[in-house]
Amino acid sequence: MAGNEHIVILTGAGISAESGIDTFRSAGGLWEQHRVEDVATPEGFARDPDLVLGFYDRRREALANVEPNPAHAALARLEREFAGRLLLVTQNVDDLHERGGSERVLHMHGELKSALCSGCGVRSRWDAALSDRPPCPSCKAPSLRPDVVWFGEMPYRMEAIYKALAECDLFVSIGTSGAVYPAAGFVQEAAASGARTLELNLEPSEGSHLFAEQRHGPASTLVPQWVDEVLAG
Ligand code: NAD
Ligand code: APR
């Protein structure tokens, strides 16, 4: 890649699969274990807050038992070489990109390690459980919820993402099914602005046909190989 080219990378649950974190739509995935309507919507939270707080407490606790895999490490290596010319957008709410060494990660669906106060709207770094209704660090009210974007809510930082897509030279989608918008439409935004597009996924996604190039296989193999190619020149 030329020395002034910009890359936008989108990752989904598939990049964390080999670290042992369930994806959503693969066999046995999260949406086979729980109804989306019950644990990933504002209505579900209003209906049964204990169920939802417990669901995300268990996912937050599980982070202690998993490690980043070579795909996360490869993206951190790429970031170091492309300082300032790489934007990593993830739909994932885990912290494996950061633990794998990436420093500039845009979590468009929020993060398990953050809590949002339904009262004052302040977001706080959060490692503990929310089921016991701890007080908001800012307003002290017992109104903390997972800082995770649910269906029907607006993902974070969309303006910054669309700006980067309009300006990038290469868009790479890694480990996402292409089933959920607005992320599923990013490839079309990038292509419309003249960027090259590449899909790295275990198998063809719902949007594979929209990519100029697709490589299929496990992320822990594909991503390091691709990063080596980019860094070699
Ligand atoms: P959505 O964006 O997931 O849309 C629901 C379904 O409608 C999609 O699966 C897609 O098949 C279809 N769809 C939506 N927009 C479309 C479009 N423009 N063209 C064609 N098909 C389209 O549902 P939502 O309520 O808009 O979700 C809002 C945000 O919340 C999304 O970014 C979603 O990923 C996010 N979310 C996060 C979590 C979580 O646990 N982090 C869970 C659910 C949803
Ligand atoms: N390597 C690469 N890709 C993989 C691997 C792997 N080892 N394992 C699974 N995949 C791919 C699957 O082929 C699938 O295309 O990862 C993708 C996972 O898709 P989903 O389970 O739908 O996860 P994701 O695309 O991140 O979901 C998007 O939907 O429910 C909402 O907000 C939630 O962020 C999530 C969004």
Structure confidence at residue 51 (pLDDT): 94
Tell me, yes or no, whether 181 lies in a domain. Answer: yes
Residue 3 has pLDDT above 80, yes or no: no
Same domain, 72 and 61: no
- Which residues are registered as beta bridge partners of 215? 200
Number of domain units in the chain: 2
**Structure confidence at residue 24 as a pLDDT band (50, 70, 90):** confident
**Structure confidence at residue 2 as a pLDDT band (50, 70, 90):** confident
In angstroms, rounded to a whole number, what is the distance separating the alpha carbons of residues 128 and 38? 22
Higher per-residue confidence, 4 vs 205: 205
Same domain, 139 and 58: yes
Same domain, 180 and 205: yes
- Give this complex's ipTM: 0.78
Same domain, 60 and 77: no
Residue 173 · residue 198 · CB < 8 Å: yes
Of 30, 148, 181, which is best to mutate to test ligand 1, by the most ligand atoms within 8 angstroms of its C-beta?
181
DSSP SS3 for 125: strand
117-170 residue pLDDT tens = 999 999 999 999 999 999 999 999 999 999 999 999 999 999 999 999 999 999
Q: Please indicate whether residue 126, judged by its CB atom, sits closer than 6 Å to ligand 1.
A: no
What is the radius of gyration, based on Cα positions, of the chain? 18
Task: Name the residue at shortest CA distance from atom 8 of ligand 1.
Answer: 180
Same domain, 159 and 48: no
CATH of the domain at 202: 3.40.50.1220
Q: Which ligand is nearest to the CA of 22?
A: 2
DSSP 140-191: --S-EEEEEPPTTSPPTTHHHHHHHHHH-SEEEEES--S-STTGGGHHHHHH
Structure confidence at residue 32 (pLDDT): 78
Q: Which of 188, 100, 186, 112 is nearest to 148 (CA)?
A: 112
Q: Which ligand is nearest to the CA of 217?
A: 2
Atom from ligand 2 closest to the CA of residue 200? 2
Tell me, yes or no, whether 1 lies in a domain. Answer: no
- Which pair of tokens denotes residue 9? 């990378």
Tell me, yes or no, whether 143 lies in a domain. Answer: yes
CA 38 to centroid of ligand 2, rounded, Å: 20
- What are the strands of the beta sheet with 123-125, ordered from one edge? 123-125, 110-117, 144-148
Structure confidence at residue 160 (pLDDT): 97
Task: Name the residue at shortest CA distance from atom 9 of ligand 1.
Answer: 180
Same domain, 118 and 102: no
Same domain, 123 and 223: no
pTM: 0.88
CA 94 to centroid of ligand 1, rounded, Å: 19
Same domain, 31 and 102: no
- Which pair of tokens denotes residue 77? 């290596």
Task: Name the residue at shortest CA distance from atom 44 of ligand 1.
Answer: 151
Same domain, 138 and 39: yes
Share of the chain above pLDDT 70, in %: 100
DSSP SS3 for 124: strand
**109: annotated active-site residue:** yes
Residues 6 or more apart whose CB falls under 8 angstroms from that of 32 comprise none
| Host domain of residue 176 | 6-21+68-109+155-232
Same domain, 140 and 223: no
Same domain, 105 and 184: yes
Same domain, 134 and 57: yes
CATH of the domain at 30: 3.30.1600.10
